[in-house]
Amino acid sequence: MKNLNRRIEVLADIAKDQEDDATAFDGKPFTGRTVAEYNGNQGAAIAALANVMISILQDIAEIESALSQIKNGEI
C-alpha cells in the first residue's frame, strides 16, 4: 500500500492537534474569535481526514481492478 506510513503520520498529527486544541480551548471565553479559531482547526482536521480516506479508497479501487484483471486472465 502506497503512502501507508504517511497516512499513519497524518492521522497521528490530527489526533495530537485535536488533543492540544481541547487543552488550549478549555475554559476560554466563548467569543467569536475563539469559535472561529476552533472551527478553522476542525475544518483543517476534517479536510486531512477526507484526504486520507480518499487515498485509502483509491488504493482499494486499484486492488479491486487488479484482482478483476487477474480473475479475467488479463494479467
Q: What is the DSSP string of 3-57?
A: THHHHHHHHHHHHHHHHHHHHHHTT----HHHHHHHHHHHHHHHHHHHHHHHHHH
Over residues 17-60, the pLDDT tens digits come to 999 999 999 999 999 999 999 999 999 999 999 999 999 999 99
Instruction: Please name the amino acid found at residue 1.
Output: M
**75 pLDDT higher than 90:** no
Q: How many residues in total does the chain contain?
A: 75
Give the amino acid at 64.
E
Q: What is the pLDDT of residues 14-25, one digit of tens each?
A: 999 999 999 999
Taking residue 60's Cβ as centre, other Cβ atoms within 10 Å add up to 11
Locate 34 and state its grid cell.
475563539
pLDDT at 1 over 70: no
Tell whether pTM > 0.85.
Answer: no
